[in-house]
Homo-oligomer: A and B are copies of this chain.
Amino acid sequence: ELKKLPTLPQFLVADIEISQSCIPKPIDQVAREVGLLPDEVELYGQTKAKVHLSALKRLKNQPDGKYVVVTGITPTPLGEGKSTTTVGLVQALGAHLHQNVFACVRQPSQGPTFGIKGGAAGGGYCQITPMEEFNLHLTGDIHAITAANNLVAAAVDARIFHELTQTDQALYNRLVPSVSGVRKFSDIQIRRLQKLGINKTDPMALTKEEVNLFVRLDIDPGTITWQRVLDTNDRFLRKITIGQSPTEKGFSRMAQFDITVSSEIMAVLALSDGLDDMKKRLGRMVVASSKRGEPVTTDDLGVTGALAVLMRDAVKPNLMQTLEGTPVFVHAGPFANIAHGNSSVLADKIALKLVGKEGFVVTEAGFGADIGMEKFFNIKCRYSGLRPHVVVLVATVRALKMHGGGPAVTAGVPLPKEYMEENLQLLARGCSNLNKQIQNARMFGVPVVVAVNAFKTDTKAELALVVQMAKEAGAFDAVECTHWAEGGKGAVALAQAVQRASQAPSNFRFLYNVELPVIDKIRLIAQQIYGASDIELLPEAQEKVTLYTKQGFGNLPICMAKTHLSLSHDPEQKGAPAGFILPIRDIRASVGAGFLYPLVGTMSTMPGLPTRPCFYDIDLDPVSGEVNGLF
């Protein structure tokens, strides 16, 4: 319900003014409306709530609703409105077509909110509200990940230090101390003994050799893959030397901080199926190799239980709403550059039960369809067992012109005139990208609806051309949308197309079998989805294939770490490049989350602050407590 809306032309109204002009329903009312019981909801103030996993158990015999994934063509650096379209679509389905519907979206990192990009609540009249809650701490899930991630990092270095400075016996006396004359292994130590093949439970019964095996993780510092994280854009932490205080006795080493959303724990949160599954994944995360080449896990460090405790609340999806009062789950936000970039399995599952058989769950997959959607299908759907009914592919005239050879689009720089005036030739040429992304979606056997996200500078002829070319490329339907300016009303035609598509035959299939060799899986994605003629493994990548296959991780799905600005590895290659060789620089493993991630080029995992960060405009009114200047 909207109170007096700003009357300025809509594109001159800041997102936060629109958001603050709308009075959200009390969130306990939203919870009641979607069929949650009071016991299943933990309120966090008036506008946010956490939903207990017990809801999933209660509803387990309820049939699932229709599962719709929103993705996009290869975007410009400005973004083409995936989040806005996700919100617009659920507003249309819910507030205008009166269907049960849920949006499931990612929690944004706070780094870009204060850095360059701003928030991620959607925009215009399609926003998750209150956007300042959505964009800032929310209910603390990302903070919990920071705490959990950094506890592991501190444990790794402290353990190496203690092993370097103590004898086996001293370590053993401390790890299994005598308390009132009794020595006892903790549960997690029993698990380590079992892993080592030592079937003893009496601490006094271990041989010297067994004590040695037990107390020494023997981490090879050169193999540590676990990094510290912060949810802050802090470029000076990209490469650091740690351990330079005299108290660390000279055991310094090079390390780095990444942005929190790139933590494996974020990927674990997004892919977990429940508390038990999350705890297991948290325990099998690999932090390094031992000097003998064996993987060292978080469970070996003794930290699994503490991680689960730190993540106990984070595992519950967060309920919010759109500007039009449609329910939204905001849950998990894995970094799409190196993880799978999709919101949580648990939020989707609970939402699918809550909307019921005829309802719709609209979930968003990060970046372009070649990355976000591919990972949604091959990783997220593989782990969740959920089967999607419809792909919504967001396209804009602006991005398609760029793909047709238009000048570079750069954030903070005025758009060149090609983007402000009609240019059907550039547009038609650029539809090669749209065509390829439609084929990519169809490869998985799911019908595609193209949402043409209209800007005020787009002409009728341009919009009609995109619709026509999308249909010719095999889209189930293609629809012009004006939800940014009009709210859900502007996406009613899109919603109707999605309704029709959800009745169409869907024949979902994965692109590859996980049992294939690592190289074959990578090649399949590169050739089928990106259009590469082949892949080339650089020596480091080749070594990792051997290592991970030997360590037993060869049958994990593949999570490509590739630029989203091109179907290829080169962000300059627009349209639908073909015939290129995709270089694989290195491969990393997120064993707890459950994937290998080949690095195609260099990925930055820590953004920086520009000369004039967003924070210059952000302010708090000390009287009203209102936030200004977020966008």
- Residues on A lying within 8 angstroms of B by beta carbon are 42-46, 50, 110, 114, 132, 136-137, 139-140, 143-144, 146-147, 150-151, 153-155, 157-158, 161-162, 166, 171, 174-177, 186-189, 228, 230-245, 247-248, 254-256, 274-276, 279, 302-306, 308-310, 312-313, 412, 608-613, 615-620, 622-623, 625, 627-630
Contacts and interface: CB of A to CB of B under 8 A. Distances in A.
B619 A187 contact: yes
A178 to B, nearest CB: 9
A460 B110 CA distance: 58
Given A243-B236, A247-B608, A308 B140 contact: no
A516 to B, nearest CB: 32
B232 A248 contact: no
Contacts of A279: 620, 622
A518 to B, nearest CB: 29
Contacts of A158: 234-236, 608-610, 613
Given A309-B618, A618-B309, A620-B279, A154 B302 contact: no
B312 A235 contact: no
Contacts of A230: 146, 150, 228, 230
23 contacts: A42-B43, A137-B143, A137-B144, A137-B310, A143-B146, A147-B231, A151-B232, A151-B615, A154-B233, A154-B234, A154-B236, A158-B608, A166-B611, A186-B616, A236-B248, A239-B244, A240-B240, A241-B244, A279-B620, A304-B619, A308-B619, A309-B618, A309-B619
Given A45-B43, A143-B146, A154-B233, A306 B615 contact: yes
Nearest to A277: B622
* Most chain B beta-carbon contacts within 10 A, residue among A140, A158, A303, A615: A615
Counting from the closest, the 4 A-B pairs by CB-CB distance are A305-B619, A143-B143, A306-B615, A276-B622
Given A158-B608, A174-B611, A627 B233 contact: no
B615 A303 contact: yes
Given A44-B45, A275-B623, 15 more contacts: A43-B43, A110-B147, A146-B230, A154-B235, A155-B609, A155-B615, A157-B234, A158-B234, A174-B612, A235-B248, A236-B255, A238-B244, A303-B615, A305-B628, A306-B618
Contacts of A623: 275-276
A615 B245 contact: no
A308 to B, nearest CB: 4
Contacts of A615: 151, 155, 302-303, 305-306
A140 B314 CA distance: 12
A301 to B, nearest CB: 9
Contacts of A189: 616
Given A140-B143, A615-B155, A177 B236 contact: no
Nearest to A170: B611
Given A144-B137, A234-B150, A236-B154, A132 B309 contact: yes
Contacts of A50: 45
A247 B275 CA distance: 40
* Most chain B beta-carbon contacts within 10 A, residue among A233, A237, A625: A237
Given A50-B45, A143-B147, A620 B114 contact: no
B232 A611 contact: no
A239 B279 CA distance: 33
Contacts of A44: 42-45
Nearest to A242: B236
Contact of A610 (B110, B137, B174, B245): B174
A418 to B, nearest CB: 19
B157 A236 contact: yes
